[in-house]
Amino acid sequence: MSEWRRGNDRLRYLAEVAHLYYIESWNQEKIARKLGVTRSMISHLLADAKQAGLISIFINYPVEHNVALAQDLQNKFGLQEAIVINTHNSSNTEPALMRAAAEKLISLLEPGMILGCSWGSALTATIDAIQPQPPMPKLTIVQLLGAMSGLVPGMDAAQSLQKLQRVLQCTAIHLNAPFVVGSKRMADALKENAGVKEALEYGAKAHLALLGIGSTDLLDSPYYLNGYFDRADMEAIVNAGTVGDVCGHFFNLQGQPSAMDYQAKLIGISREDLLGIPQRLGISAGPTKVRPILGALRGSYVNILVTDSATVEKVLAAA
């Protein structure tokens, strides 16, 4: 096997060398003997493989919790639990945050439980971070908010539910309705549909809810980015004092319901039923989520929060 191959043959050769070294844990001398080249040549080939983009190195840092900030957050807002990940470098914060959220979710699941599932990019990333689990046939997951089809990945409750069902190998109940319709009258009528009504009733009986915390920032709002609300709609919502939403329920900085005209057109679990779910696990972090998180905590939309230390410091300062 010659080290002077070209094109795709060269890339396959480099990939084989990298596989033997990184996956099979062969040392460079053993690889050199197998391929009939010098040890120094193997070193050069590994460098070439890295330069060609054939090797990706990911360091899976341990999740480091900030217990003091978590306790401050729990005390301030009366939370059941806060999980706060230390922010050391921005490249590692998000993966650590999602791993922590996934671990927390799995720790809360029990046989016979009903898990309500909302949507959002953080929620989707959390589901992606769940490690392989044994099948959970006695677990039921239910979609809490209607389906959103749009341009922004991770913003569809139906897709999130399907992905979670595959990961947990459990029973899933879909809310077969659009996330928003043209009027309150249409929304009310749709909620009386037998299938929709059954899903909403299951949602009301949930023991645990997995929730994102949405922002009204134009660069962050799924309603605007997916084209459901135009700029005028979003300006009206913001002018009403709205800072965020949980599961389609808009609230102001004090956690009080707001933008009710828009909210009335959404198909999903009622605010009363949402707040009646015993464990409401929220996952959110970042500069655009400080005010939404503060409103969500004040309004008790979540009572378990997974976030990061930089966000918590800003939330506590704002509070």
Per-position b or e across 281-303, b if 16+ CB within 10 A of its CB: bbbbbbebbbbbbbbbbbbebbb
182-207 average pLDDT score: 95
CA distance 100 to 14: 36
Q: Which of 47, 41, 57, 54 is nearest to 11 (CA)?
A: 54
pLDDT per residue over 227-265, tens digit each?
Answer: 788 899 899 999 999 999 999 999 999 999 999 998 899
Task: With beta carbons less than 8 A apart as the criterion, state whether 251 and 215 touch.
Answer: no
pLDDT band for position 295 (50/70/90)? very high
Write down the pTM of the prediction.
0.79
CA distance 307 to 63: 12
What does pLDDT average to over the chain? Answer: 89
Helix (H, G, I), strand (E, B) or coil at 29: helix
Task: With beta carbons less than 8 A apart as the criterion, state whether 66 and 309 touch.
Answer: yes
Higher pLDDT, 11 or 70: 70
Task: With beta carbons less than 8 A apart as the criterion, state whether 124 and 212 touch.
Answer: no
What the chain holds in terms of domains, given with CATH numbers, is 7-51 (1.10.10), 67-318 (3.40.50.1360)
264-269 average pLDDT score: 93
Identity at 128, one-letter amino acid code: D
Statement: residue 3 has pLDDT above 50:
no
Higher pLDDT, 11 or 59: 11
What's the token pair of residue 300?
């008790």
